[in-house]
């Protein structure tokens, strides 16, 4: 090959390499802003001031329901369940009457604090005041109550 053609080929190759570098740089400059925009859109913008729902359910690692916060009809309630999924503790406000209920593994109410309707085994029904505390034994009989 003559020196003239070799020289022309080298110049042409240098020109193509320079164009290639320019195109790669331009492509990178176009992709970087796109990545920044996508990352900015994916990051949370902050904590919302308010979250609204009628019910929230919290589950453990096994997917078992362990807590429920909900409002149904006239009752706002937080129910806490044991590892077996049985509601053990209730915090409720029915109308304007607050109450706390503890239940055993057989789902029997064992302690009730607050206003509620108490049905006795004798067939009598008592309307308990908000200041009421009732302890119930394993057989369902009242072992202590005040007032």
Query: Using one digit for the tens of pLDDT, what is the confidence trace for 44-87?
Result: 667 777 878 888 999 988 889 999 999 988 889 999 999 888 89
CA distance 1 to 47: 72
Residue 71 in contact with residue 88, Cβ under 8 Å? no
Confidence of residue 130 (pLDDT cuts 50, 70, 90): confident
- Better-scored residue on pLDDT, 33 or 92: 92
Query: What is the per-residue pLDDT for 69?
Result: 92
| Res. 3 pLDDT band, cuts 50 70 90 | low
DSSP 30: H
Please compute the mean of the pLDDT values over residues 127-133 and round it to a whole number. 88
Which of 78, 73, 75, 74 shows the shortest CA–CA distance to 89?
78
pLDDT mean across residues, the chain: 84
- 10 Å CB burial of residue 142 (0-12, 13-18, 19+) is middle
Please give the pLDDT value at position 67: 93
- Cβ-contact 89, 106 below 8 angstroms: no
């Amino acid at each position: 090959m003559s020196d003239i053609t070799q020289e022309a080929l080298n110049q042409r190759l240098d020109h193509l390499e320079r164009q290639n570098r320019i195109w790669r740089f331009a492509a990178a400059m176009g992709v970087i802003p796109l990545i920044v925009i996508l990352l900015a859109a994916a990051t949370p913008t902050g904590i919302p001031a308010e979250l609204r729902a009628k019910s929230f359910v919290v589950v453990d690692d096994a997917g078992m329901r362990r807590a429920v916060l909900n409002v149904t009809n006239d009752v706002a309630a937080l129910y806490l369940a044991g590892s077996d999924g049985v509601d053990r503790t209730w915090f409720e406000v029915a109308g304007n009457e607050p109450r706390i209920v503890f239940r055993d593994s057989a789902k029997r109410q064992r302690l009730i604090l607050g206003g509620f309707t108490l049905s006795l085994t004798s067939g009598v029904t008592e309307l308990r005041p908000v200041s009421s505390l009732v302890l119930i034994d394993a057989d369902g009989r009242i072992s202590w109550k005040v007032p």
